[in-house]
Amino acid sequence: MKTFFSLLLFCVSGFLGVFAQGYQQTESGVKITSQGMDVEVTFYSPSIVRVLKYPTGKYPDKQSLSVTMQPKALSVNTLFTDGVVSLTSTHLTVQLNLETGKVFFKDLLGNLLFTEKDYGTQFTEINYPSGKRYIVRQAFLLEPDEVIYGLGQQQGGKMNQRNQRLFLRQENMKVCIPYIASVKGYGVFWDNYSPTTFTDNRQETSFESESGLCSDYYFMYGGSGDGTVAQMRLLTGQAPMPPLWTFGFWQSRERYKSQEELLNVIKEYRRLGIPLDGIIQDWQYWSTDNAYWNAMEFGNPEFPDPQGMLDKIHAQNVHAMISVWANFGPKTKPFATLKEKNMLIPVDTWPHKSGVHPYDPYHPEARDIYWDYLDKGIFSLGMDAWWLDSTEPDHFNIRDRNFDLPTYLGPWRDVRNAFPLMSNKGVYEHQRAMASDKRVYILTRSAFAGQQRYAANTWSGDVDSRWDVFRKQIAAGLNFTVCGIPYWNTDIGGFFSHKLYPKGIKDDAYKELYVRWLQFGTFTPMMRSHGTDTPREIYQFGSRGEWAFDIQEKFINLRYALLPYLYSTAWDVTKNNGSFMRALFMDFPQDKNVYDLDNEFMFGKSFLVVPVTDPMYVNRDREITIGQTKKQSVYLPSSDWYDFWSGDRIAGGRQIERETPIDLIPVYVKAGSILPLGPEVQYATEKKWEHLVLRIYPGKDATFVLYEDENDNYNYERGAYTEIMITWDEKEQTLTIGERMGQGFDGMLKKRRFIIQLPDGKVSKIVSYSGRRLKIKL
């Protein structure tokens, strides 16, 4: 009997011990009830933690639209002390206060990384016409001088996103992603798709969403800018390889009004010997009647032979992209099919008051229907790429936003900001399922977290042709790519030019703006000329010997010389979660002078680019005056640098003045870089890289991985590619070209020559390479 009571007492005390602590151990975390809510902390990986909070007993049955990662069973050490449960993985510690429900994060040394505010979670019940929801608010505390980036693409020109209030709802020119990344090496993704207000002030940093059932965010610790991007990609998906040709030059206009006009553009580029890889057909190829908006077929009589047009484009080694929208006119076949199945969202969109409505991209069958018409009407002709326009989408009727309209996933308010993610998803997944010989490539006007997995390159929208707007694109693009989406670009020259430049290309003031914008575009993931009012083809600006023509030709040719660097950087993005446009804190985290620079960036890991974003050479009479060279102030981060144009070596960690004649912008190469340069070509695949320049920038040890594959299919996913690791040993002054790695591919070069250059462009040595390791003493 005594033994029985002793055993009973042991069991009861053990039972009370677990529940007295007030938490429940889960497979990869803990769960508690506190302050009228359930709190779940779950490790998705040693570096990624999900924090989910909801009113007690009201578990939200939520499937994330952005997050693709699933939690895995992990070995997490749990310790309970003084009302706080601590969970420690191999990378960080998460602590949860059982009384307040507050969560905070520390590194393994015990340093505080990020913390919620005490009692910072709020659920305010609201009765929308579509049903009951909560306004969900989560507040955090940052260090007073902590610098953060992200929030998608905003047009305020700010690099550091502190001390502001932003309303995050998708619009033209405004991409809203509720994500922040800190210079301390962590990122936070607020997983809510309704319109959300971000606030940062002295009291707190918070996300407040108009509709939700829970507070749901992911904390990612990468330890650095690159590490945080890698964690975001691990959480939301990897970026596939674009085709090689997409890194060439693109010409576009709003719009080519006939197939003859479009074909003549290509003909003129080829006649002039100006490289070109992509041509874009904008809207109204379907009809000029808005009732047939986005019919997904050629109905305009000015395009009488679309198949013949595509064949002629391809015969000249150019690729075609076409504008496709997320909405349909009332007389189109897709509209009729979608309306019958109740798969339209009946709001007023562009074109305004034309009866055009967006489709419901949240519905799997609606995405099937969308692709079916796109395939039969356009893809089957041999179209190469998609311009998915208005993927926010445009939404008029400001006073009556109709956010209570139903979608497949519930009220539109609940999923509003994820519209571009789902729309791009439909096109990507359907083309991938249908064709493996042609990589999906999408140009799109909006984005949401995770969109990198759908081969989408987002452009900054219909921006004005103004110098101040031009400069703001730099910060907009850098903050966007910090969110883990590497491919971004902008309309070279700005979309709307007529407001300030009614004479267009006849105005020297516009020419100066355009060539400066094009110089910037050379160092973005997609070099694309586009706009309305003013035709942008190079020959519109004059002919050879005229400054506006010659500068464009110079930078277009530079773009093609950089193709080996660009394509290898793309591989680094896909394989190693790298980035093209890099905010300077990513490469110089200890240099606080770079934290808020809004007009400089790294392009890949070698180039420092400083676009010229102020007019210098147009006088008050709007005439060009290039006789006296002007200068621009440049901050060189803490490193040694080489002037790309002169080869001069310059010490960093200081401000300098660089002469900026109209035909160049400040570009520097980091000491300890290896830069591969390709041959002169008229299109990306015209010549194989049989004679490849390797320009060595000494000063530090350097490594570069040269990547090659079949350029435009998915065989690389099965190993059909090669890598050549090239290293520079600074101490030994020795270049090593490593053994060619990988299983190889059809058309692979078995032999080639490397022309080794110094920073001034002078040839040092020429070596033959057949795939075996070479060591060259310089």
User: 3-state secondary structure string, 190-220?
Assistant: ECCCCCEEEEECCCCEEEEEEEECCEEEEEE
Q: Find the DSSP H helices in 210-327.
A: 225-236, 259-272, 306-315
Query: How far is the C-alpha of 133 from the C-alpha of 415, rounded, in Å?
Result: 13
* DSSP state letters, 509-562: HHHHHHHHHHHHHTTSSSEEE--SSS---GGGG--TTSHHHHHHHHHHHHHHHT
CATH number at residue 711: 2.60.40.1180
Q: What band does 399 get if pLDDT is binned at 50, 70 and 90?
A: low
pTM of the shown model: 0.96
664 lies in some domain: no
Asked about 389 being catalytic, the answer comes back as yes
Asked about 462 being catalytic, the answer comes back as yes
Point out the catalytic residue in the list 38, 40, 392, 414: 392
Q: Is the pLDDT reported for residue 17 higher than 60?
A: no
Check residue 182 and give its pLDDT. 98
Are 141 and 43 in a shared domain?
yes
Question: If DSSP codes are grouped into helix, strand and coil, which group holds residue 118?
Answer: strand
- Spatial CA neighbour of 588 closest among 609, 570, 602: 602
CB atoms within 10 A of CB 240: 20
Asked about 730 being catalytic, the answer comes back as no
Question: If DSSP codes are grouped into helix, strand and coil, which group holds residue 390?
Answer: coil
Residue appearing with tokens 């109204």: 284
90 lies in some domain: yes
- Looking at this protein, which amino acid is placed at residue 354? S
Can you point out the beta strands (E) in 319-383? 319-325, 327-328, 357-358
719 lies in some domain: yes
CA distances 46 to 104, 106, 218, 276, Å, are: 16, 13, 13, 46
Are 68 and 176 in a shared domain?
yes
Are 217 and 293 in a shared domain?
no
Q: Is the pLDDT reported for residue 282 higher than 60?
A: yes
- As a whole number, mean pLDDT of residues 394-414 equals 87
Check residue 4 and give its pLDDT. 31
Are 216 and 287 in a shared domain?
no
Q: Find the DSSP H helices in 562-638.
A: 563-576
Percent share of the chain, pLDDT over 90: 94
Backbone angles phi, psi at 132, to 5 degrees: -75, 135
Percent share of the chain, pLDDT over 70: 97
Are 197 and 295 in a shared domain?
no
DSSP-derived secondary structure letter, 36: T
CATH number at residue 213: 2.60.40.1760
Question: 721 with 739: CB under 8 angstroms?
Answer: no
Residue 427 CB contacts under 8 Å (≥ 6 apart), including other chains: 324, 370, 371, 374, 386, 388, 440, 442, 454
- As a whole number, mean pLDDT of residues 9-33 equals 64
Are 214 and 323 in a shared domain?
no
Are 401 and 313 in a shared domain?
yes
Q: 532-543, pLDDT tens digit by residue?
A: 999 999 999 999
Are 163 and 290 in a shared domain?
no
532 lies in some domain: no
Point out the catalytic residue in the list 38, 277, 389, 708: 389
Are 321 and 406 in a shared domain?
yes
Q: 417-435, pLDDT tens digit by residue?
A: 999 999 999 999 999 999 9
Which of residues 408, 434, 454 is at a domain's end? 454
Are 194 and 290 in a shared domain?
no
Point out the catalytic residue in the list 462, 663, 686, 710: 462
Are 338 and 419 in a shared domain?
yes
CATH number at residue 292: 3.20.20.80
Query: How far is the C-alpha of 667 from the C-alpha of 641, rounded, in Å?
Result: 10
- As a whole number, mean pLDDT of residues 62-88 equals 95
Residue appearing with tokens 């022309």: 755
Residue appearing with tokens 């883990």: 484
593 lies in some domain: no
Which of residues 401, 423, 454 is at a domain's end? 454
- Spatial CA neighbour of 551 closest among 606, 624, 605: 624
- How many domains, in total, are found in the chain? 3
Mean pLDDT of the chain, nearest integer? 95
666 lies in some domain: no
Backbone angles phi, psi at 374, to 5 degrees: -65, -40
Residue appearing with tokens 């516009």: 510
Query: How far is the C-alpha of 725 from the C-alpha of 773, rounded, in Å?
Result: 10
Check residue 492 and give its pLDDT. 98
CA distances 687 to 316, 325, 680, 681, 737, Å, are: 15, 35, 8, 7, 22
Question: If DSSP codes are grouped into helix, strand and coil, which group holds residue 186?
Answer: strand
**HSE toward the beta carbon, residue 683, CA cutoff 13 A:** 22
760 lies in some domain: yes
Are 59 and 205 in a shared domain?
yes
Q: Is the pLDDT reported for residue 16 higher than 50?
A: no
Q: Is the pLDDT reported for residue 10 higher than 60?
A: no
447 lies in some domain: yes
- As a whole number, mean pLDDT of residues 58-70 equals 96
Check residue 94 and give its pLDDT. 98
Residue 507 CB contacts under 8 Å (≥ 6 apart), including other chains: 501, 622
- Looking at this protein, which amino acid is placed at residue 260? E
Q: Find the DSSP H helices in 48-184.
A: none
- Spatial CA neighbour of 396 closest among 445, 356, 352, 357: 352
Query: How far is the C-alpha of 181 from the C-alpha of 479, rounded, in Å?
Result: 9
Q: What sign does the dihedral 325-328-332-333 (CA atoms) show?
A: positive
Which of residues 454, 476, 510 is at a domain's end? 454
Query: How far is the C-alpha of 692 from the C-alpha of 149, rounded, in Å?
Result: 37
| Bigger pLDDT: 19 vs 211 | 211
- As a whole number, mean pLDDT of residues 729-749 equals 97
Domain containing 113 equals: 26-184+186-221
% helix / strand / coil in the chain, to the nearest 5?
25, 30, 45
